[in-house]
Amino acid sequence: MSFDTILKGGVLPDGAQADIAITDGRIAAIAANIDAEAGETIDIAGNLVSPPFVDPHFHMDATLSYGQPRINASGTLLEGIALWGELKPLLTHDAVIERALAYCDWAASMGLLAIRSHVDVCDDRLLAVEALLEVKKQVADYIDLQLVAFPQDGLYRSPSARANTIRALDMGVDVVGGIPHFERTMADGRASVTELCEMAADRGLMVDMHCDESDDPMSRHIEQLACETQRLGLGGRVAGSHLTSMHSMDNYYVSKLLPLIAEAQVAAIPNPLINITLQGRHDSYPKRRGMTRVPEMLKHGIRVGFGQDCVLDPWYSLGTADMLDVAFMGLHVAQMTNPADMRRCYEMVTTQSAAIMGLADYGLEVGKRADLVVLDAGNPIEAIRLRATRLLVMARGKVIARRARSPMQLFIPGREAGIDRRFTVPAPD
C-alpha cells in the first residue's frame, strides 16, 4: 500500500495521537501507526492536527478597505453603515477582486478554508456580487466560499433591494440574507423575515440573516425567524447572525424564546470581536457586553458557531483572519472558562460552523477531503490560549502553506535558550 502523503504523530482534537494518510486529495487512513510507503512523509509529532478553521460570518466585499474613503471615527455600527454607503459607489470590479483575493491569501495562511461571506446587494450594479462569484471560482481549490445575498440597506427600506436580492440569487448566490432590525418598523422587519424565508424555501436555499444586531431588548425578529423556519420546514438550514438584542432581553421572555429556537433548529452565529466592540455604545456604565447568550443556547441544544464578521473595513479597524482570535474573544465574553466549554469554543470555529454551512465533505475522517491545519499547540485549548502558529495547511491533499517551528531564543544566563510558551496540564492525582 502506498499513499501520496503521510502526516506522522499528530495529535487529533480529541487528544488521540494518530498518523493520517492521504491519497488523491482525500483522507485514506487514520490510525495510531501507519507504516507504509508515501510520496512524502511529514513529521508533525506532538502538534495539534485539526480540520480547517471555518468562518460562518464575514463580509468579503468590504474587507481590507479600511481608510477608504475615510475611517470610522465613532466606531459605531451606524457610522460604519454610512461609511460603507460612501464607499459603495466608488467600488470597482477589479478592486473588490483584488482585496478579496488578498484576504483569501491571509485566510489560507491561517488554515481558514471555509468562509460564508455576506455580499451587499443594494448597489444596483451588483458589482460586488459579480466580483465575489468570480473570486469563489478562483479560490475553489483551497477555500469553500459561500455567498449570502445581503440587502444591507433593508429589503423594504431601500427601493431596489428586493429586486436586487432576487437578481443576486438568480446569478448563483448560495444563501438568502436579511437585516430585519434595520427596516423602518418592527412590522416591516417581521414581513421581511417571512418573505425572505419563503424565497429560500421556494429555491431550496439556506437562510442567514443579520438578526437583532441591536441593544434594543424589544428587537425580537429571531422569534419570527424561528417561527417561519418551522412553518416552512427549513430546520437545520437557517441561521440567525448576531442576535445581540438577546443579551438585553427580559429573562422571562428568553426562557420562552430559547426552546422555540431549539425546536425550530435555527443556528446562532455570534461575532464576538464585533459584538463586544459595537454593542453597548449607547450605555454609560454599566456597559453591556452585547454578545448573545451563548452558554444558555448551548444548554438548550442550539447549534452555535462563532464568526469573524469584519477585518479592516468600515466597521472594524483590526482583524487578522485568525479564527483563534475569534474563539479567544468569544470564550472571554461568554465566560466559557471550564475545559469542556473552552473545547466547545474551538469547535465553534471549526466543526460547529462547518455544520452550519452544510459542508458535507468536511472533517478529519476517512473518505473526506484532505483539508486540515497543523498548529504549534498540543490541544485545542492550548491553540486558543496561544493563538497558535500554523505550521502546515493542507487543502485537497496539497500543502498550501507551511512554516518551520521557530521557538524564540532567550539570552538569560542560567535559563534555557528556547522558549515556546507551550504548557502541559498535569494529570489529576
**Contact residues for Zn ion, defined by CB under 5 A:** 309
Residue 251 carries which side chain, given as an amino acid letter?
Answer: N
Q: Could you tell me the three cell numbers for 41? A: 512523509
Shortest Cβ distance from residue 248 to Zn ion (Å)?
A: 19
Q: 51 vs 307, which CB is nearer to Zn ion?
A: 307
Helix (H) or strand (E) holding 306: none
Q: 50 vs 63, which CB is nearer to Zn ion?
A: 63
Q: Could you tell me the three cell numbers for 268? A: 446562532
**Residue of 79, 134, 195, 213 marked active site:** 213
Cα of first residue to Cα of last residue in the chain, in angstroms, is 43
Task: Supply the DSSP string of 159-223, one letter for each residue.
Answer: TTHHHHHHHHHHHT--EE---GGGSSSHHHHHHHHHHHHHHHHHHT-EEEEEE--SS-TT--HHH
Q: 6 vs 349, which CB is nearer to Zn ion?
A: 349
Burial class (CB in 10 A: 0-12, 13-18, 19+), 204: exposed
Shortest Cβ distance from residue 277 to Zn ion (Å)?
A: 13
Is 130 labeled as catalytic in the residue annotation? no
Residue nearest to Zn ion (CB): 309
Q: 318 vs 417, which CB is nearer to Zn ion?
A: 318
Q: 281 vs 422, which CB is nearer to Zn ion?
A: 281
Helix (H) or strand (E) holding 76: none
Q: 215 vs 309, which CB is nearer to Zn ion?
A: 309
Q: Please answer whether residues 175 and 147 qualify as being in contact, where contact means their C-beta atoms are separated by less than 8 angstroms.
A: yes
Alpha-carbon separation of residue 115 from 12, 265, 296 (angstroms): 23, 21, 26
- Residue that is written with C-alpha cell 430585519 in the block: 180
Alpha-carbon separation of residue 82 from 64, 163, 410 (angstroms): 17, 22, 49
Shortest Cβ distance from residue 330 to Zn ion (Å)?
A: 15
Among 396, 392, 315, 335, residue whose Cα is nearest residue 49: 392
List residues bridging with 120 in a β-sheet: 150
Shortest Cβ distance from residue 341 to Zn ion (Å)?
A: 25
Q: 216 vs 263, which CB is nearer to Zn ion?
A: 216
- Residue that is written with C-alpha cell 440567525 in the block: 240
Q: At a CB cut-off of 8 Å and minimum separation 6, what does 109 contact?
A: 321, 390, 393, 401
Shortest Cβ distance from residue 177 to Zn ion (Å)?
A: 9
Shortest Cβ distance from residue 318 to Zn ion (Å)?
A: 16
Name all contacts of 408-414 with Cβ < 8 Å and 24+ positions apart. Answer: none
Shortest Cβ distance from residue 360 to Zn ion (Å)?
A: 25
Q: Which residues are catalytic?
A: 213
